[in-house]
Amino acid sequence: MTRLFKPKSAMALIALMAVAAGVYAAGPDVGQAAKQPTNWTAIAMFAIFVSITLWITKWAASRTKSAADFYTAGGGITGFQNGLAIAGDYMSAASFLGISGLVFASGFDGLIYSIGWLVGWPIITFLMAERLRNLGKFTFADVAGYRFDQTPIRIFAACGSLAVVAFYMTAQMVGAGQLIKLLFGMDYLYAEILVGSIMMIYVLFGGMTATTWVQIIKACMLLGGATFMAFSVLMQFGFSPEAMFVKAIEVHSKKEAIMFPGGYIKDPVSAISVGMALMFGTAGLPHILMRFFTVPSAKEARKSVGWATTWIGYFYILTFIIGFGAITNLIPNPADYFVGGDIAKGLNGGGNMAAVHLSRAVGGSVFMGFISAVAFATILAVVAGLTLSGASAVSHDLYASVWRHGRVDQAQELRVSKMTTVALGVIAVTLGIAFEKENVAYMVMLAFVIAASANFPVLFMSVLWKDCTTKGAVTGGFVGLVLAIGLTVVSPAVWVAVLKHPAGSAWFPYDSAAIFSIPAAFITIWLVSLMDRGARAAIDRAGYPAQEVRSETGIGSSSASGH
């Protein structure tokens, strides 16, 4: 039995860092990656992916004429296609590289982490999906503000959407730069500009149709690649999980500890709070909510979320096998995969590279090129979806509804969305470059906390509670938004890790603000609505029966089709 990780404390530290990165980072926090030699196989694979998707964009452009085409692909996506596209939107490079890396570092803890990312989907299915489809048209503000005073609710919805998009996007762009530097051996700056420009072409010319197909293709590539890896690993052990675990325990420095929970949960409050952010945040992500408007009916909306949950859950089971496969394949060959051949120094390129190294171990350098290209394509697809939802928040909610009070023709609105897309592309690249050397690990969790504490409560109460009023929804939504950001700033993830205050000095000691900010938003909506006696409140309440009939039956719902 070899002693793999010599200094125990160093290993404990690495594991702790990996877990911490995993907890705070949903984004592909690959840290400060060292530039690698140029990987031509990966670049060639990626070039093929880009060519195919640009060709699809050209086809999509010929069908993208109206605002409905641009925002929702004319409502012509089927449930199965939309399910794949949602999965493509949701399975970020972080899920793939981060979770398999976490399983590689600490085994069972990675499984606990991945479960959190799935449990939001049933909530969307049971409570939101068909109601969203029946009430909505282009953005989630259409749903949340169905019976409310348009100006305040849309200003709030745009703030909530743009805050989520900004943090999620920055994390993706920084992750993209680091990942591309690592996988392709390309300069950070060029990587940023490349991601920004390709994404802009997809969205600008192909709108939702192109974005959807990019996500579908990427989802198939990711699911196919991950299936092949998990299958290869299981085949090595004659399809006996028992044999795989025995081997993993034998080679891993933590021995049997990889088979049960370790240090993932430090305190129960943080665990539940992170769980709440993931569970309810999923139902408040604007780029995910927007996907429900691309299908023609409530039936297809339900089918899409059924498929999405199935694919995402299947994918997390695969990442678990992939993580264990990385343990059994990489650790016995330190010379090939670890810095200087020394396991104590960690994997080449960092802990999140476990899946990429495993792809070489099971499929050679061509397959590794494929997986690298998939990781890049993943970021492109996610960033394109985010940009589209940000652009629709600006053009549909702020410009068309707030600024022009709905008195605007489609061509004008479409022009504003395209201008916003360009602006968001430039902002994304700028943020990516500005934050290159910053710690962005907290940003994806913050995006989920905002989605869970601002967007979700407003959406939920406006759709399901008859006495909810404009004033209540908007006040509560802003309370959730401000608390989510405020508490995150004074939590260890930002206060200590980013602002460099001494450890233990954070005012808010938990990993996620959700356990306080979500109830605060709900209680504020409830109290303010109850006390609201204004003339508008009467209109808001009187509008409920019509809204409920439409949300339950779909009568009168927007066909989303511009044809």
Partner 1 sequence: MADDWIERVVSNPKYQELKAKRSSFGWWLTLSEMVVYYGFIALVAFNKPFLATKIGSGVITLGMPLGIGVLVYTIIITNIYVRRANSVYDDLTQQVVKGALK
Binding site for partner 1 (CB under 8 A): 108, 111-112, 114-116, 118-119, 121-123, 125-127, 130, 241-242, 245-246, 249, 256, 259-261, 264-265, 268, 271-272, 275, 279, 298-299, 302-303, 305-306, 309-310, 313-314, 316-317, 320, 545-546, 548-549, 552-555
What the block records as the tokens of 106 is 């600490």
Cβ proximity to partner 1: between 286 and 554 the closer is: 554
Cβ proximity to partner 1: between 112 and 482 the closer is: 112
User: What are the residues facing 347 on neighbouring strands?
Assistant: 338
DSSP state letter for 135 = H
Q: How far is the CB of 448 from partner 1 (least distance, A)?
A: 15
Helices and strands (H and E) in the chain: how many: 26, 0
Q: How far is the CB of 265 from partner 1 (least distance, A)?
A: 5
Distance CA 219, CA 11 (A): 34
What the block records as the tokens of 62 is 């010929």
Q: How far is the CB of 276 from partner 1 (least distance, A)?
A: 9
Q: Is 545 exposed, middle or buried (0-12, 13-18, 19+ CB in 10 A)?
A: exposed
Distance CA 205, CA 65 (A): 10
Cβ proximity to partner 1: between 261 and 364 the closer is: 261
Exposure of 378 in the CB half-sphere (CA atoms within 13 A): 29
Cβ proximity to partner 1: between 260 and 533 the closer is: 260
What the block records as the tokens of 470 is 């404009």
Cβ proximity to partner 1: between 118 and 374 the closer is: 118
Helix 150-184 to helix 470-489 angle, to the nearest 10 degrees?
30
Cβ proximity to partner 1: between 123 and 490 the closer is: 123
Cβ proximity to partner 1: between 241 and 341 the closer is: 241
Residues 6+ apart with CB under 8 A from 315: 87, 91, 95, 96, 222, 223, 226
Exposure of 361 in the CB half-sphere (CA atoms within 13 A): 26
Q: How far is the CB of 392 from partner 1 (least distance, A)?
A: 26
Distance CA 432, CA 425 (A): 11
Cβ proximity to partner 1: between 33 and 308 the closer is: 308
For tokens 């808010």, what's the residue?
Answer: 508
Q: How far is the CB of 272 from partner 1 (least distance, A)?
A: 6
Cβ proximity to partner 1: between 79 and 207 the closer is: 79
Q: How far is the CB of 3 from partner 1 (least distance, A)?
A: 20
DSSP 118-142: TTHHHHIIIIIHHHHHHH-SSSHHH
Q: How far is the CB of 32 from partner 1 (least distance, A)?
A: 31
Q: How far is the CB of 151 from partner 1 (least distance, A)?
A: 23
Q: How far is the CB of 291 from partner 1 (least distance, A)?
A: 16
Cβ–Cβ < 8 Å for 135, 551: yes
User: How many C-beta neighbours within 10 Å does residue 411 have?
Assistant: 11
Q: How many residues does the chain have?
A: 563
- Helix, strand, or coil (residue 338): strand
Cβ proximity to partner 1: between 27 and 554 the closer is: 554
Say which amino acid occupies 339: V
Q: How far is the CB of 426 from partner 1 (least distance, A)?
A: 39
Helix 354-392 to helix 410-434 angle, to the nearest 10 degrees?
140
Cβ proximity to partner 1: between 2 and 553 the closer is: 553
Residues 6+ apart with CB under 8 A from 369: 39, 41, 42, 43, 44, 45
Q: How far is the CB of 199 from partner 1 (least distance, A)?
A: 30
Say which amino acid occupies 465: W
Q: How far is the CB of 132 from partner 1 (least distance, A)?
A: 14
Say which amino acid occupies 204: L
Residue 338: φ, ψ to 5°: -110, 155
Cβ–Cβ < 8 Å for 176, 191: yes
Cβ proximity to partner 1: between 409 and 552 the closer is: 552
Distance CA 76, CA 72 (A): 8
Cβ proximity to partner 1: between 125 and 215 the closer is: 125
Cβ proximity to partner 1: between 265 and 482 the closer is: 265
Say which amino acid occupies 454: A
Q: How far is the CB of 198 from partner 1 (least distance, A)?
A: 33
Cβ proximity to partner 1: between 133 and 287 the closer is: 133
What the block records as the tokens of 314 is 């299947």
Exposure of 480 in the CB half-sphere (CA atoms within 13 A): 39
Cβ–Cβ < 8 Å for 281, 514: yes
Sign of CA dihedral 62, 391, 167, 280: negative
Q: How far is the CB of 235 from partner 1 (least distance, A)?
A: 19
Q: How far is the CB of 249 from partner 1 (least distance, A)?
A: 6
